[in-house]
Structure 1
């Protein structure tokens, strides 16, 4: 069985799927949007256009839908799609909370259709580089991972400005950044979640957050996102007892691994005089004290998401993005909101 896709919501993400899904072997057969100009855009691309989700769901040539509508509509339309016998792919976040996801999951099980979420950031080279270091103990025993995403663009756009539509950066990017950490170390449990969530330029929705997750494998993970931070920090920093890794940019592999060139068995015998005053622990390292290495080469292809879902439909593969994983991410997000409200770390798992 091939994927014959109907796109519900032909805005930015809908157009994105229309442009790349065919490269993954998907046939895009229909698109629906409430705006006539977007329906025409779809038709101009040779895609059958509809003015409502209900019209598209009645199209028997569609066997799978992807939900690229505002977040608050995912549950309602996803359940309608399941009842119409369509396999369901939702853009992230799948829904606004775990209870909504469970309603969608139940509807899909009752209808006998498959259900997944487009967590495309699992294929990002920057994250997979850090995951490779974790999986292969490239840095020894990692004790801290920092995931940082900064932008100077400031203002949130379109419906993301409104809480009632599921706006804000926790729903927009927090779901990705938390998912990446949990995907990176799936066997680790989250011991606690602490979060600071702010409204810097927006009264209604969050545009800054910092989340600290303490894992039971001894790693402390820090996630920071800011839409109005004007000097960007590296996308990733991971440190272990055998080295430190820095990955600079989103979606790229522009960074280095740093190791000690000479293992110092003891501190220098004398205190060093520095601009910051006398110090021994933080004195400059001698020449050759730090050596650099290239990052490991990582191959990745986001089109594997579509290929996997096609294979799932044919009973040839296990689903890569599982609904249990989606619910776990939303549970961490709920703990983060509770922590931000109370000012306390929330015990978890």
Structure 2
């Protein structure tokens, strides 16, 4: 089935979908927005544009909608679209909580329409490189994964700074970062969640969080995000008993590090360093660490739409399953509870 898309919300992501979804064979049938200037802009670009979602949903040519509206509107807009018989794709977060998501899923099932979320960062090259290195056993038995995202830009903008609209970084990037970790270890059960969530610069919504996830495969994942840490840390650090992976930025600069034979044969000895005398943490001599290039990965965000098209044709399963979306939202709810109580929360025991 050819996706004939209606875009509900012509802001930043709405425009991205309008410009990029056609690369995957998607036809943009119509867009809508409540802001007159955005409607005018869409029409100037040749799109059929409406000033309400209700009008767009009446267009018989539209068979699928993407909801690129503020987060608090995903739930009501999904119910409207399902009732109109349209397949529904929501931007992330799919809903503000598990209860809303369950209601959205039930409405889509009752209407007999397809429902998924645009978790586009499942196709991020940096994450897929880290996952490939783990899957190919380049690091041995992995014991820690660190996923960090820092920015010096400080303040958020527009509706993202208001709690009632579903603003804040947990709802913005937290969804992606949690989803990526769960995707990297799909069969591992999550045992406990500990989180520290802060409002550093913003009064209403979070702009810093650290989430620690402990899995039953003995991997501990550390997720940290801040809008106000002024020097970037590596985007990924993955440690295993046979190597360490570092990816510095979204540009995928980094390497895999292994122990060299020289280091393995060094006799134990105490060395004087700036930190004082030490054996374990003395500088590694030349040749003690060897490097390997990161594995290659080819990926494209619009592969999401190619998958949706295949699902609608009965050729494939959805790569973004609602059960996975639900698990992410449940982790987010547990993270908030952990931060409020200051304790680790048991999860899938």
TM-score of the aligned structures, taking structure 2 as reference length:
0.98
User: What's the counterpart of residue 341 of structure 1?
Assistant: 340
Distance in 2 between residues matched to 1:61 and 1:199, nearest whole Å: 45
Distance in 2 between residues matched to 1:178 and 1:258, nearest whole Å: 25
Deviation of 1:43 after TM superposition, in Å, equals 1.1
Query: 2:262·2:287 contact (CA, 8 Å) conserved in 1?
Result: no
Deviation of 1:302 after TM superposition, in Å, equals 1.4
Deviation of 1:286 after TM superposition, in Å, equals 2.0
Distance in 1 between residues matched to 2:160 and 2:273, nearest whole Å: 49
User: What's the counterpart of residue 330 of structure 2?
Assistant: 331
**1:227-271: CA deviations, max 9, x gaps?**
000010000000101100000112x22100111112655773431
Unaligned 5+ runs, structure 1: none
Query: 1:14·1:68 contact (CA, 8 Å) conserved in 2?
Result: yes
Query: 1:92·1:175 contact (CA, 8 Å) conserved in 2?
Result: yes
User: What's the counterpart of residue 206 of structure 1?
Assistant: 206
Of stretches 268-277 and 123-132 in structure 1, the one that deviates more from structure 2 is: 268-277
Matched, 1:310 2:325: no
**Counterpart secondary structure, 1:191:** strand
Query: 2:263·2:289 contact (CA, 8 Å) conserved in 1?
Result: no
- Counterparts of 1:175-190 in structure 2 under 5 Å? 175-190=175-190
Unaligned 5+ runs, structure 2: none
User: What's the counterpart of residue 233 of structure 1?
Assistant: 233
Q: Which runs of 4+ in 1 moved over 3 A?
A: 263-269
- Counterparts of 1:95-134 in structure 2 under 5 Å? 95-134=95-134
**1:90-136: CA deviations, max 9, x gaps?**
00000000110010000000000000000000111100011001111
Matched, 1:284 2:268: no
Count matched residues. Answer: 348
User: What's the counterpart of residue 40 of structure 2?
Assistant: 40
Query: 2:39·2:50 contact (CA, 8 Å) conserved in 1?
Result: yes
Query: 1:160·1:168 contact (CA, 8 Å) conserved in 2?
Result: yes
Distance in 2 between residues matched to 1:333 and 1:263, nearest whole Å: 45
Distance in 2 between residues matched to 1:71 and 1:203, nearest whole Å: 19
User: What's the counterpart of residue 197 of structure 2?
Assistant: 197
**1:50-79: CA deviations, max 9, x gaps?**
010101011111000000000000000101
User: What's the counterpart of residue 29 of structure 2?
Assistant: 29
User: What's the counterpart of residue 88 of structure 2?
Assistant: 88
Distance in 2 between residues matched to 1:20 and 1:270, nearest whole Å: 59
User: What's the counterpart of residue 292 of structure 2?
Assistant: 293
Query: 1:247·1:256 contact (CA, 8 Å) conserved in 2?
Result: yes
RMSD value, Cα: 1.0
Query: 2:149·2:224 contact (CA, 8 Å) conserved in 1?
Result: yes
Of stretches 151-160 and 267-276 in structure 1, the one that deviates more from structure 2 is: 267-276
Of stretches 270-279 and 198-207 in structure 1, the one that deviates more from structure 2 is: 270-279
Query: 1:267·1:281 contact (CA, 8 Å) conserved in 2?
Result: no
Distance in 2 between residues matched to 1:330 and 1:263, nearest whole Å: 47
Matched, 1:258 2:292: no
User: What's the counterpart of residue 249 of structure 1?
Assistant: 249
Deviation of 1:216 after TM superposition, in Å, equals 0.7
Distance in 2 between residues matched to 1:166 and 1:314, nearest whole Å: 34
Deviation of 1:285 after TM superposition, in Å, equals 1.6
Distance in 2 between residues matched to 1:320 and 1:269, nearest whole Å: 50
Query: 2:169·2:206 contact (CA, 8 Å) conserved in 1?
Result: yes
TM-score of the aligned structures, taking structure 1 as reference length:
0.98
Distance in 2 between residues matched to 1:194 and 1:264, nearest whole Å: 36
